[in-house]
Amino acid sequence: MMRSASREAMAHLRRRRDEVLGSRASADALTALADDLYAVADLLVGQPRLRRALADPASLPDARAQLVVRLLSGKVGEQASEVVQAAVRERWSSSWDLTDALERAADDALFGAAERAGVIDEVEDELFRFERILSDQSQLTTLLDEIAVDAPRRIALLDQVVGGKVQPITKALLEHAVASQRKRSVTLAIDELLDEAAALRERSVARVLSAVELTAQQQSRLAAALSDLYGRPITIRTAVDPAVRGGLVIRVGDELIDGSVAARLTSARAALAG
C-alpha cells in the first residue's frame, strides 16, 4: 500500500495521465504509449541504482527529469518520455512506488486505447471471465504465478489459454500481469485491473456469481438496484458458478453480499453443529 507522499504523487501523475488520455491520441498511439511505459518500468525493476536515483528526494526534480531525457531519448515515444518525466518530478515514499505508478499509467493507457477502439466493455468482461477461469483452475494459476519459470514460458502458457479468444488489448494486459516482476499474483493483478478500469470510467463494478446465467433484464434490474444502494453507477460482471446452487454472490470492492443457497446451507450446518 502506498504511503501518503506516494498517494499524493500518484494523484498528480493521474492528472498528467488524464491530459494524455484526454488528447486525440488514437488507440494505436495509446497502445504504443503503454508498451513504452511498461518497458521503462521493467528497466527500473532490473536497475536498482537507476530506480533509486530517479526517486531520490534529495536530488532536484529537474535533475531527475533531465536524467530521464538523457536515458530515454530516441528509445521511447515523446508522450512516454513526458509521463516518465512527470513521474520522477514527484516525491515518492519508495522507489518501488515510482515503478508501480508507471505500470499503473501503462495499464490506464491500454484502457484508454480500449475506449478509443470501442471495446472497453469487452475487455472488462474478458478480464473478469479469465479471473473466473483462474478461480476454477488452481493449477493454471500456480503455473502462471511461478516466478522460477521465465516470463516468456509463462506468457506462452497464457497464449495457449486465451490466444485468439480475447481482444488484443485484453491479451496485452494479461501478458503484462503474468510477466511483471511486481505482480506476484495474476489473480490479484486482474482484480486490480478491473478496479482501475472502473475508476477510469468513474463507476464501480459488481462481480456477480449465480447458479444459472442471468438474463439481460435481470442484469439490468440488478445494476439499477445496486446503483441505488451504493449511490453511484454500478456495472455488473456476471459468471455462472454451480457451487452457488441458488441466489447470488455479489462483490463490490471489498464488500461481499452472499445471498447464495450454498452460504445459507453452510450457516445452517454450523448452527446444527453448535
Give me the torsion for CA of 19, 23, 29, 30, rounded to 10°: 40
Give the strand pairing for 204-210 and 234-240.
parallel
Per-residue pLDDT of the chain (274 residues; tens, 9 = 90+): 556 678 888 888 877 777 766 667 899 999 999 999 999 999 999 999 999 999 999 999 999 999 999 999 999 999 899 999 999 999 999 999 999 999 999 999 999 999 999 999 999 999 999 998 998 899 999 999 998 899 999 999 999 999 899 999 999 999 999 999 888 789 999 989 998 888 887 778 888 888 888 898 999 998 999 899 888 888 888 888 888 888 888 888 778 888 777 777 677 666 666 5
What pTM was computed for the model? Answer: 0.82
Residue with cell 505482480: 183
What are the sequence ranges of the domains in the chain? Answer: 1-117, 119-201, 204-273
